[in-house]
Structure 1
Amino acid sequence: MVKRKVILFGASGHLGNYLNKTLINNNFSVKTPSRIEVNEILNNKYKKEFFEDSFVINTVAIVGKENSNSCLIDDLKLINEEFPKKLSEGVNLYNSKLIHISSNSVFDNSKKHFRRDKDTPSSKTNYGISKINAEINIKETLNNKKYIILRTPQHYSNDIDNPRNLLCGIYKQLKKYKHIKITRNETFSIASCQRISLLIVQLIEKDFYGLYHVSELKNFNWFEIARILSKKMGLNWRESISNVYNDKLQINNTLYPSSDTILESDIIKKDFLQFNLLK
């Protein structure tokens, strides 16, 4: 059986690491480009052997408020907006397909409780705007059957020490102090890196195309996340968690998953993070 070819950008990242392993385990031939090769693409150099008959997956982004302030706006536009456009142009030249990871931050100016895949994006942050523009660039460059755009919420995994992991901050507080104060009253969507990776394999195999919201059905808040983690760490959650907020509930970029891309939850499973985290 001939292995299907994947060009994976961002393989060293939180999601990319899981995706790389999952693709290899499912009989894909995976190439992870170097920074030199990324720069070549940004300079309009599209290698035939690189793009031809490939699934091009982009997980690369400058992420979060700390990396999207005004002094880095040029880098933000280059990586988050221009690079997906360049990948789209390469895909257009050859018989390939683009899979692009977008973000729930395209809705960070929305007042809706649930953001559905047909809703119009609205953002007030540099990061959110850059992700909206990336989607626009892809849609303007490619026929809709040549791309999959996956809007995802905050990612988590059993790589508990990864700073990009949704669980990392709470875990470190509980590990160090055996206690945490919850100061933010907000609800949000989550998605497991493992589940996103498995879904991408399925979407490739079933020849999906278009734009989808990818998340678990249930929304969470920080208290629920802390309670789940404290139990898995062998702590008494009633003693280890304090709610100290007094503000109104904030709806933080919740996604309503598309009908074909509802993810199972890993965080509530008994075998998730089953090791001694307190050592």
Structure 2
Amino acid sequence: MKGKASALILTAALGLWLPPVQAESPQEVAAIANAAERGNQGAQLLLGLIYREGRGVPADQQKALYWLEQAARAGQPYAQDLLGQIYAEGQGVPQNMTQAAYWWQEAARRGSADAQFRLGQAYFYGRGVNRDYRQAEYWLGKAADQGHAEAQYLLGRMYHRGYGVPQDLERGKTWLDRAAAQGHSDAIKLLHSLADLSADVTEVFQQSGPELQKRAQAGDPQAQYQLALRYESGAWGVARNDRQALYWFTQAAENGNRLAMHKLAEAYEKGLLGATPDAARAAFWREREVRGGMGR
């Protein structure tokens, strides 16, 4: 039992995903509380969640808030992000968007994709902070790069419609495509409305993995690009596989898909998807993209 409590504390301390708290006994709660009192931030987070959910102890939102704040002040990003949500929604505290944005900023700086998205959204709408599209673009970009579909969608909208940033239809479509590949319904709907998106192309979003694979293998560059996006994100019934993503981006690019060319240039510039950084390859695909996908 003590071992199980220690494992939970370690998981929280490392900032890993936490399942719903299941404190099965008073002894386990006592072990976590003892570690929390000694200053263990993982235990402080767990104890806050235990009191918040009422698992093994009566629910107590004041005690939950106290321990979550202890963990957040110690630098625990999950606690910081959760505190932001608590203040934003007024859960047991007066609603305070300034406090929410503060805690999201702390968590975002520590790499939390959820907090980066929420902070970017706060800057986009001016909630708890002054509206600042550049800051919104920055933090949404951070979350989007980590695969956050909501951030990808909002960033795509910003570029597509020129919200506070220079309008860039192609860049916007790239992010909308990546959100759509994860099943984001609003991204799919917006893509359907783009003038240059044919019915044949939009149909790709609705296809199953095997159907898309068959179409990609037959040489359809749009299907190849969408299949690459699914391998990149591990969405829509396709297991995440960077090697396969790189392969299908390459196939799509070689068949003239400019968005795939953009993705390949980025991959070789930054060493993404397992690609070895290669300035010459990056420049090659960037040039192809600028030329409109013509030539090899």
Which interval holds the TM-score relative to the shorter structure? under 0.3
Give the TM-score normalised by the residue count of structure 2.
0.26
Give the TM-score normalised by the residue count of structure 1.
0.27
**Which is helix-richer, 1 or 2?**
2
Who wins on radius of gyration, i.e. which is larger? 2
**Which is strand-richer, 1 or 2?**
1
